[in-house]
Structure 1
Amino acid sequence: MNRRTLLRAVTVGSLVPAAAVGTATLGDDTADTTTADEGASDTDADTGSADGEETPVSVRIVELPDEITGGALLEWTVEIENLTDEAIRPTLECFVDGEPVGNVTLTIGPGERERPFPSSYRTEPVSDDDEVTVRAEINGDADERTVRLRPTNELNSELQFPDPELAVQSETTVHFEVGAVEPDAGQTTTWWIDGENVGDTLADPWQGVYYVEQDAHYWQETFETDDNDAHEESYEVVAGVDVDGEQYRANWTVTVTPDGLESPTIDATRPEPGTLELSPEGTTLEVDVTDPDENLERVVWWLSQADRLLDVSDVSGASDTATLAVASGRCDFCQLIPWVITGDGTVTSDPLWDTIVPGIDPDGDDLETEFL
């Protein structure tokens, strides 16, 4: 069984991306880096072949910062030299802390040098000084460098949801948020769980919509245990917030335990779930929701396909009813999906209704979808 279930995640790599590569988001840290001298790798790095013999290809990391702030995008350039008198086609592989982050195969003429497009890796925000090791390998030759990570500024606690310490039961989903640091600045957020990059604000269109409507980026994660219900397991969730190149860090510790928080539930709906004809005059939807831990907070109403956040309904206590009035024309063939979120961060969601145009057979051949 997987230790966790990812609801939304994406990885983006430089070169040809490997599965473990960090995400490359829009911000950078170029204003706050120190660049190593291009010739430094001749003396500071391991450039020998794996068996100690000379190889027909030489590789050097020629551009790499000495240090960056944790959470920033780390970028480097590699130079490859063909030491033979024939054209060759080697494969360059790059690693960060031993994990593959990308590869590229290229043709190099006899005696020529080539520099592929720069590689990049989104580093994890850190609370203390740390480091990462970048390594480039090609046909047995290698070059390796270490980059210092400076501590990342902690995000204002008022912009972090839920509280940083929480305990949940197995298979409970938690909704995390980091708010807008500067409303008019460019902001991206990358998420890590136990040191693994699991996704960022480019994961899907809802991320951008939620930020515009709610001034926050979010991540949802379902936590499980490997063994049985009596087994406790803890996870560290870290959000790296890049605001126009400035880095911030938020973190949570989630403990999975038999007596932890439970997910809220949707107990009843009006109308019944299923196909729903929306009236031009408006249709009222209701959901009865319950939180076993008596801390209901809000219901977020989504319209799929159109990628629209329709409204947010306030709820409270152990049980409550959320209401939404919606008219036809928003999206002719979409799903209406409520998220039920508690003040503790637990969440449940369910695609309850499939909207259709009145008078049109949803199984017919003449369907058209209109987005207004």
Structure 2
Amino acid sequence: MSASMSTAMQRTQEVADKLAFLRAHLAAASAGAIRLRGVDWFAWVTAGGSSAVLQTTDSGVAEVLVTPEEACILTDAIEAERLRAEELPDGFTFHVEPWTEPELRERYVQNAAAGRRIFSDRPGNGATAGATAGNGMGEQPLPNALRQRRMVLGPDERERYRLLGRETAEAMSETLRRARPDWTEYQLAGAGAEALWRRGIHPALVLAAGERRLPAWRHPTPTGEPLGARAMLVFCARRHGLYANLTRFVSFAGLNSVPLDEQRALLEVEATGLAAVQPGKSLSAVYHAFDAAYRHADREGAIREHHQGGITGYQAREIVAGPSTATQLEEGMAFAFNPSFAGVKIEDTFLLGPDGLENLTFDPGWPAADVHGRKRPLWLEAQASS
């Protein structure tokens, strides 16, 4: 059996398992349908398919409607054949309407639900949807159990994630090893995006900051300023719907440009937070671990200057850790935390497994230090004249 046939069969089985899970919830709630509009849920239920054309939108060019009888792709005639040929495994039927008659989709959904409740990841206007069906109920948010289930990744999802993380880290390292101090932030971000696209990865977010802007902004969207003595590059990189998130720094002035004391202090803050990521704990427990670590480092205010990250997966952040975030942590969840001081930050994407946290975005060729038994990235010291 060829590798492509094996992958197709794995995707088909993954889809079947997920549809069975969704239908069990339909039956338990005596509901008629689950309507998944977002590109995140589309990728999840199709085992890595993409409904995105405009890459910055939350909702794509197709939806998935799951009923007890079928799993139907709702789209228009512009997109249907491409989706069928390039994005979707077996297991789905299609409802295709002319792009000029979008009302046909709504009619189909209401008929399929047969007057029963419709759950949706992005509920439509209740008055409109309910009036069409005559039931006055409209669409309701997905049950929390479904949202929790999506964050616990299965074996095939984890393998897709590992490959994505490795290739995203390679793209990051390649870009920063090429970078020069006279590059503009635009050039650095563009080189990073190109390195991702060349690997079939969508650069959902690329931040870049040079020497002047680095300490000023936590989210430095690129500008035309030259980098100068140091630079930061940030990726939120998406493929098969999954996000690999990481941050790296380069110095063009040797150790004179690397804030070593700040870096060491931040590595200790991160280590405290990562140690709190354990099955059965709450996400808020991780937040409070970070809070205590900042206080220990005499940086009490730092936790209020930027969020600390949280659970990742089919969104760059599925849930951000906060002081009262009760979400329970489970094996199979992915995490991207980003503790920071002004001008210094650290971020990787981890998968929680039976042996603890696995760093998905680790590059063995990148400079690193051992921090409480875990390899953590340092700043790359580049030659400004090379």
TM-score by length of 2: 0.25
> Which structure carries more helix by proportion?
2
Comparing both chains, which one has the higher relative contact order based on Cα–Cα distances under 8 Å and sequence gaps of 6 or more?
A: 1
> Which structure carries more strand by proportion?
1
